Structures are given as C-alpha cells and as structure tokens.
Amino acid sequence: MSVTNLPPWAPAEALSGASYSAAELSADGDRVFLLEQRELPVVERYVTLTTPAEVAEGIRAMVVRGAPAIGIAAAYGMVLAARAARGEGAEGYLHALRRAGALLDASRPTAVNLSWAVRRALALAEQHAPRDGEQRFQEMAAFARALHRDDVAACRAMGRLGAAHLPDEGAILTHCNAGALATGGYGTALGVIRAAIEAGKRLRVLADETRPYLQGARLTAWELHKDGIPVEVLADSMAGWLMQRGEVKAIVVGADRIARNGDVANKIGTYAVACLARHHGIPFYVAAPWSTVDLATPDGTAIPIEERASDEVGLIAGKRMVPEGVRARHPAFDVTPASLITAIFTERGEATPGELARLAG
Ligand code: MRU
C-alpha cells in the first residue's frame, strides 16, 4: 500500500466526474485508489491498493464507506483478483475469484450493494472462466468500470426526480454522508440536493451525524463546501429544536439497504430524525440506487445491523471520551420503518415505500 496527496489518476480517467473520488481503478487495472476518508476533512490523501485483501481491509476499516462506494470498491477488488489469476486455468481462476469475493463480501454486513457487486462479478467469472486470462481480466475491468459509471448515472437520475420535490428555498437536513464520497460520484441524497440547486433552487444544507463517526461534520460538510453549496453542521441533538422552529423544510437521506416492504437501514440516528420529521409534519425522503433495494429481505427486522468497535465511540481522534473500562455501544445503522418515509427516489423512478416493488419491473 502506498499513499499520495494528489489524485493518482489522470483527469480523463476519473469516473466520478469530480476532482475527487471515493474509489477509482488505474488505467492499467493493476491498482485501486481509495480516498482515505478517515483523514478528511484535514488531509485529502489517496491510498493505492494492489490486492483484493487490501481492498477488503480498506472497506472494513472505512477508508472507503457508503453503500454504493463500497460496492464499486469491491468490484475493483475483483479486477485485482482477475489480474492476479491471469495465468490460471478455468478452475484455478474461479477458485481465486470466489476466495476474493468471499473476503470482500465479509468486510461489512449491512449495505447490500457490497454483496450485489460481488455476486455480479462472480456471475461474470463463471461465464468467462474458460477464456484466456488476459481477456478475462480485461472483461472484469470493463464490468467494474461500467458498474461505477452506472452508479453515477443512477445518482443523477434519482437526483432529477427528487429535486422536483424539494422547496424553492430554505434548509434541507441530511443525515450522515450520502454524497459523492459515498457513491461513484454526485451522491444519492446529496445528488437530490445538487440537482435542485442546479435547477435554480436556493437551498442550504443542515448536515448532521456528529456521532458516532462525525460523517456529517467531516464528510458532508467537506464535499458541499468544496463544491460551493451552503452547508451548516448540526450536532445530532439540535435537529429537533430546529424542526420545532420551522427551520427545516425537508429531509433527504441515503440508504444502505431497503427491504421489500420499504423499511430503510441507514446510518444510526436516521430513525430518530424520521420520528422528529413525522412529529413536525416535515417530508422525509430517501434516495438510493436500485442496487440498494433488497427484495429478498422482507422487512427491516431481517436486515443485519453492523455493531462496530466500542472505541470508535469511546475515543475521538485518539482521545478518550468514555472512562477506561466502560463499553460504548456502537450499532452503526438503524432501521426507519416504511410508515415514516414520504417517498423513495431511485433511478427507476419514485415510489412510496409500500409501492416500491412496483419498480422492480
Ligand atoms: O457506515 P457508512 O459510512 O458506510 O454508512 C453510510 C451511510 O449510512 C450513509 O449515510 C448512507 O446514506 C448510505 S450510502 C449513500
């Protein structure tokens, strides 16, 4: 693994469409670049990874995070596996790809985009295993790049749909980071806000998720500020008060997994925001690509909720905030019931949570 402060790709290579990107594949397909999101907003730095195991560790440790972005990173990890197995016959190739897939899939449990991307890569591997090693590698790289491009296109499509629902002016609250940093580029929830602003609406963003991981403060504020979109950070406990005062016009969040009945798993704290929104009569929208919809999961009770390390809550920037010997709880996600959600925006269209399956096609 190596580290650089500049985007390590030529501008024409970046699929994110921005000057920064959560994950990119090198032109030769031999390296994966991840923006080291744990160091934002202080340092903008990229790590270069060369094995599927390094990519899996980057996902586990949250160098890259966000449901669509970890799916893309995993697909790029599968390209590294296909490259390393160029000299193998069909059986050796499949064995290597399945091993890499299992490693990547196990790196985080809640966001379904991860297993979705790995499953698609493995389906391609089974289909082209008998072919020449160089050809398999090139096909896997083309597959992963297409997955990345499709995600950016999906963000733009759901952005256009969602933008029409936002008011012409005022503050929109978002929780955690569902922006360019969490996706292939442009963002899901932040894509909706970006599209509304591009359409001429005068919006500003209230960004929360200040604990456990400060992703509203560190990431959403970083990318919106960088892109010139007005943003203020809220400590999570402030959201209710601002809603009571009428300051919040709408809420848009992303999702890590959407069950068949429209229940939505998203960053811990989303459920509390949705309850507050209902109490105050404020629309609560979810934006996510179809790869986040898991029709095989009937409802939110069946979604696996990741429990992360206690120290990620107990320490801030290495400094202890909880007495030594006391455990801090760290469920990383919660489930917002479908009944609290006004509408879900996807690249396939918009729906109330109860009508979501209609978009399955
Ligand atoms: O733990 P993370 O950062 O991977 O979780 C990501 C989130 O929960 C995001 O807020 C999100 O909405 C899903 S990614 C667009």
Q: Say yes or no to pLDDT of 113 above 80.
A: yes
Specify the amino acid at residue 76.
Answer: Y
**pLDDT digits over 63-85, tens only?**
999 999 999 999 999 999 999 99
- pLDDT grade for 212, boundaries at 50, 70 and 90: confident
Per the structure, the count of domains in the chain is 2
User: Where in the sequence is the domain holding 139, given as residue range(s)?
Assistant: 23-155
**pLDDT digits over 187-206, tens only?**
999 999 999 999 999 999 99
- pLDDT grade for 302, boundaries at 50, 70 and 90: very high
Ligand 1 and 193: CB distance under 6 A: no
Ligand 1 and 174: CB distance under 6 A: no
Q: Say yes or no to pLDDT of 3 above 90.
A: no
pLDDT of the residue at 41: 95
Which residues are part of a known binding site for substrate? Answer: 65-67, 108, 215, 266-267
- Which CATH number do you get for residue 129? 1.20.120.420
Ligand 1 and 145: CB distance under 6 A: no
**pLDDT digits over 170-184, tens only?**
999 999 999 999 999
Q: Say yes or no to pLDDT of 280 above 90.
A: yes
- pLDDT grade for 97, boundaries at 50, 70 and 90: very high
Span from the CA of 145 to the centroid of ligand 1 (angstroms): 21
- pLDDT grade for 285, boundaries at 50, 70 and 90: very high
131 and 232: one domain? no
Backbone dihedral region for residue 290 (phi beyond 0: left; psi -120 to 50: alpha; all else: beta)? alpha
Q: Could you tell me which of 209, 298, 312, 200 has the C-alpha nearest to residue 257?
A: 298
Q: What was the ipTM of the complex prediction?
A: 0.98
Q: Say yes or no to pLDDT of 5 above 80.
A: no
Identify whether 12 is part of a domain: no
- pLDDT grade for 12, boundaries at 50, 70 and 90: low
Q: Say yes or no to pLDDT of 361 above 90.
A: no
Ligand 1, atom 8, residue with closest C-alpha:
267
132 and 187: one domain? no
Distance of alpha carbon 243 from its chain centroid, rounded? 26
Say what percent of the chain tops pLDDT 70: 99
272-282 as b/e, with b when 16 or more CB fall inside 10 Å? bbbebbeeeeb
Spatial neighbors of 323 by CB under 8 A, at least 6 apart, are none
134 and 251: one domain? no
67 and 171: one domain? no
Annotated catalytic residue within 256, 263, 294, 334: 256
178 and 128: one domain? no
Task: Answer yes or no: 28 catalytic.
Answer: no
- Which CATH number do you get for residue 309? 3.40.50.10470
pLDDT of the residue at 17: 85
208 and 284: one domain? yes
Ligand 1 and 176: CB distance under 6 A: yes
- The domain boundary residue, chosen from 155, 188, 222: 155
- The domain boundary residue, chosen from 100, 134, 155: 155
pLDDT of the residue at 11: 63
209 and 148: one domain? no
pLDDT averaged over every residue in the chain: 95
State which of 62, 65, 158, 236 you would mutate to test the pocket of ligand 1, scoring each by most atoms of that ligand within 8 A of its C-beta: 65
Average pLDDT over residues 109-134: 97
Identify whether 14 is part of a domain: no
204 and 347: one domain? yes
Q: Could you tell me which of 223, 212, 181, 171 has the C-alpha nearest to residue 328?
A: 212
Identify whether 90 is part of a domain: yes
